[in-house]
Amino acid sequence: MVTKNTKPGKVVNLRKTSPYSIKASINKSTYQKYEPRRKDLYIRDTKLIGFYIRIRPHGKKTYNCEAKLNGIGKKVTVSIGDCSLFTAQQARKMAQENLVKIKTGVNPKEEFKKQLADGHTLVDLAEEYVSIRELAPNTVKDYLYRIPNQMPKLCNKDIKDLTVDDFVSWWSGAKAKVSREVALRYVSSLLQYAIARKYIDENVAKDFRKGVLGGVKKRLPKQTHISKLKIEDWVESLVRLSPPHPDFKDFKGPDAYWEEPSISETSRDYVLFLLVTGKRKSEASNLKWKNIDFDVKTITIQKTKSGKIDILPMTNLLWHLLKYRYESKTKHKEY
Q: Is residue 110 part of a domain?
A: no
- Name every residue whose Cβ is closer than 8 Å to that of residue 334 and which is 6 or more positions away in sequence: 288, 289
Q: Is residue 332 part of a domain?
A: no
pLDDT reported for residue 2: 45
Q: What is the CATH number of the domain that holds 193?
A: 1.10.150.130
Q: Is residue 279 part of a domain?
A: yes
What domain count does the chain have? 3
State the Cα–Cα distance between residues 140 and 129, nearest whole angstrom: 9
Q: Is residue 113 part of a domain?
A: no
- C-beta of residue 257 within 8 angstroms of C-beta of residue 249: no
Backbone Cα Rg of the chain: 35
pLDDT reported for residue 11: 47
Size (the chain), residues:
335
Q: Are residues 258 and 304 in the same domain?
A: yes
pLDDT reported for residue 9: 53
pLDDT reported for residue 272: 87
State the Cα–Cα distance between residues 166 and 163, nearest whole angstrom: 5
State the Cα–Cα distance between residues 334 and 128, nearest whole angstrom: 35
How do beta strands 41-45 and 21-24 pair? parallel
State the Cα–Cα distance between residues 167 and 185, nearest whole angstrom: 12
Q: Is residue 231 part of a domain?
A: no
10 phi and psi angles, rounded to 5 deg: -120, 130
Q: Is residue 282 part of a domain?
A: yes
Q: Are residues 204 and 250 in the same domain?
A: no
pLDDT reported for residue 217: 62
Run means of pLDDT, 10 residues per run, the chain, 335 residues:
49 54 94 93 96 94 95 91 90 95 91 69 91 86 91 89 90 84 92 89 87 64 74 82 65 55 81 85 83 88 75 87 80 71
- C-beta of residue 43 within 8 angstroms of C-beta of residue 52: yes
Q: Is residue 179 part of a domain?
A: yes
pLDDT reported for residue 44: 96
- Name every residue whose Cβ is closer than 8 Å to that of residue 287 and which is 6 or more positions away in sequence: 299, 301, 335
Neighbour order of strands in the sheet with 41-45: 21-24, 41-45, 51-55, 61-68, 75-82
278 phi and psi angles, rounded to 5 deg: 75, 15
Q: Are residues 243 and 192 in the same domain?
A: no
Q: What is the CATH number of the domain that holds 269?
A: 1.10.443.10
Q: What domain range includes position 40?
A: 16-104
Q: Of 196, 212, 228, which residue constitutes the final position of a domain? A: 212
Q: Are residues 43 and 81 in the same domain?
A: yes
